């Protein structure tokens, strides 16, 4: 038994493969973590049906198109190859008359919502210039940047299909194709009390061409007006490396951060939860290593992991933390509490005990800058 979202007792579902309910299982997913790892082929055959069904209401392709003679998109790990009239996995790219058309995600067309988020925010509190790190080069104040704002850019597409997605509303945006804003117009919103721009979503990956155009114009504005204007990315890290490398350089020079969400370490688990391999994400994370020493006063790279009950446990976090520590044990790492959303809305919130076990595991693997990122979400009830 475990307690549901509102505290009522709920009977544990049984895994469709092993028939056990010893591990916490999402009934909507149907398979336990142990079977995902030990019986990956069978597990993924079942779970991919869930992914396909989850995308149908939004008219998004069930799987990345792989037409042998199709046009290659070339932006991310999905390596979509589009036949005539086929749409990319993200919903933003289409083959029209044997010509690749980007419906959004170019310098002139960004599919996104934007808003002002008063600083300091809680996203990277223990490394961010919004709290005074890197003052005076990258921060306006030797402490919290009260009175300034972050231009928050919520991109309306993603290359993953996370069944626990905490921002699932983005899925409506590719079909509606609104709101649209150019890179230049978006930068015009960065008035003099805006000290940073943050790209998230959805994910910036499918619209990297737009975010890089924004970053270029923002860098020119900052130089012209002799002001601070940091650029940051929050991403699943699945874009192709040449694009991410450009983002790394913009973040590095401006005082910004690349925050990569490491959903899982084991590839079958990432495929089960997110529909996509994590191998490019892990490679991209490692590829940033040579840049880390260029700006030690403000960490460039930041890792996060959502603690999904029953699936992302202390063993998974231990593997992720070991991977990060092998790159650099000083890379900041934040563990985030899960709240029931999207397809996996039948799981409880992350418990305090779960989060503390994961925190201990990350520290035991050698990470020196690790914390629980949203303590207010944690439940006192163990599952």
**pLDDT values of the chain reduced to their tens digit, one per residue, 383 residues:** 444 444 445 578 999 999 999 999 999 999 999 999 999 999 999 999 999 999 999 999 999 999 999 999 999 999 999 999 999 999 999 999 999 999 999 999 999 999 999 999 876 667 899 999 999 999 999 999 999 999 999 999 999 999 999 999 999 999 999 999 999 999 999 999 999 999 999 999 999 999 999 999 999 999 999 999 999 999 999 999 999 999 999 999 999 999 999 999 999 999 999 999 999 999 999 999 999 999 999 999 999 999 999 999 999 999 999 999 999 999 999 999 999 999 999 999 999 999 999 999 999 999 999 999 888 889 988 77
Backbone angles phi, psi at 282, to 5 degrees: -65, -40
pLDDT value for 97: 95
Decide: 154 and 112 in contact? Cβ < 8 Å.
yes
Kind of pairing, strands 180-181 and 110-118?
antiparallel
Element (H, E) at 119: none
What is the pTM for the complete model shown? 0.95
CA–CA distance, 25 with 12 (Å, rounded to integer): 7
CA–CA distance, 81 with 107 (Å, rounded to integer): 22
State yes or no: cis peptide before 136, omega within 30 of 0: yes
DSSP string of 244-293, one letter each residue: HHHHHHHHHHHT--EEEE---SSHHHHHHHHSS--HHHHHHHHHTGGGGG
User: What is Dmax (Cα atoms) for the chain?
Assistant: 64
Cβ contacts of 198 within 8 Å, gap of 6 or more: 117, 123, 150, 151, 152, 153, 231, 232, 233, 234
pLDDT value for 305: 98
Question: How many residues are given for the chain?
Answer: 383
Q: Both tokens of residue 11?
A: 């009977």
DSSP string of 72-87, one letter each residue: E--SBTT--EE-TT-B
Helices (H), the chain: 33-38, 40-55, 173-176, 183-187, 208-225, 241-254, 267-274, 279-287, 314-327, 352-364
How many CB atoms within 10 Å of residue 192?
9
What domains are defined for the chain? 61-103 (no CATH), 110-377 (3.20.20.70)
């Amino acid at each position: 038994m475990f307690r549901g979202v509102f505290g009522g007792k709920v009977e544990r579902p049984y895994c469709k493969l092993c028939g056990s309910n010893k591990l916490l299982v999402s009934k909507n997913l149907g398979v336990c973590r142990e079977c995902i790892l030990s019986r990956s082929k069978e597990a993924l055959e079942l779970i991919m049906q869930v992914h396909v069904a989850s995308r149908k209401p939004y008219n998004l392709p069930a799987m990345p198109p792989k037409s042998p003679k199709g046009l290659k998109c070339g932006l991310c790990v999905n390596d979509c190859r589009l036949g005539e009239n086929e749409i990319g996995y993200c919903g933003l790219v289409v083959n029209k008359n044997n010509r690749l058309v980007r419906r959004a995600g170019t310098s002139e067309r960004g599919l996104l919502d934007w808003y002002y988020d008063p600083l300091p925010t809680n996203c990277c509190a223990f490394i961010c210039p919004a709290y005074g790190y890197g003052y005076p080069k990258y921060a306006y104040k030797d402490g919290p940047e009260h009175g300034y704002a972050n231009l928050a850019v919520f991109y309306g597409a993603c290359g993953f299909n996370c069944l626990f997605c905490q921002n699932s509303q983005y899925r409506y945006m590719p079909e509606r194709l609104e709101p649209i804003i150019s890179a230049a117009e978006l930068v015009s919103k960065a008035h003099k009390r805006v000290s940073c721009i943050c790209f998230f979503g959805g994910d910036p990956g499918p619209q990297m061409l737009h975010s890089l155009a924004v970053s270029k114009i923002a860098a020119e504005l900052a130089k012209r007006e002799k002001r601070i204007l940091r650029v940051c990315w929050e991403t699943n890290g699945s874009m192709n490396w040449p694009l991410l490398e450009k983002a790394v350089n913009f973040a590095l020079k401006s005082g910004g951060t690349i925050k990569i969400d490491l959903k899982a370490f084991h590839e079958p688990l990432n495929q089960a939860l997110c529909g996509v391999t994590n191998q490019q994400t892990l490679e991209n994370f490692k590829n940033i290593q040579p840049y880390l020493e260029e700006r030690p006063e403000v960490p460039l790279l930041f890792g996060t992991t959502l603690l999904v009950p029953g699936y992302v446990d202390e063993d998974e976090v231990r593997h992720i933390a070991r991977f990060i520590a092998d790159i650099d044990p000083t890379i900041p790492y934040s563990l985030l509490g899960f709240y029931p959303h999207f397809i996996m809305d039948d799981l409880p919130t992350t418990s305090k005990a779960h989060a503390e076990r994961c925190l201990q595991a990350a520290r035991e693997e050698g990470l020196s800058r690790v914390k629980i990122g949203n303590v207010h979400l944690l439940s006192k009830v163990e599952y």
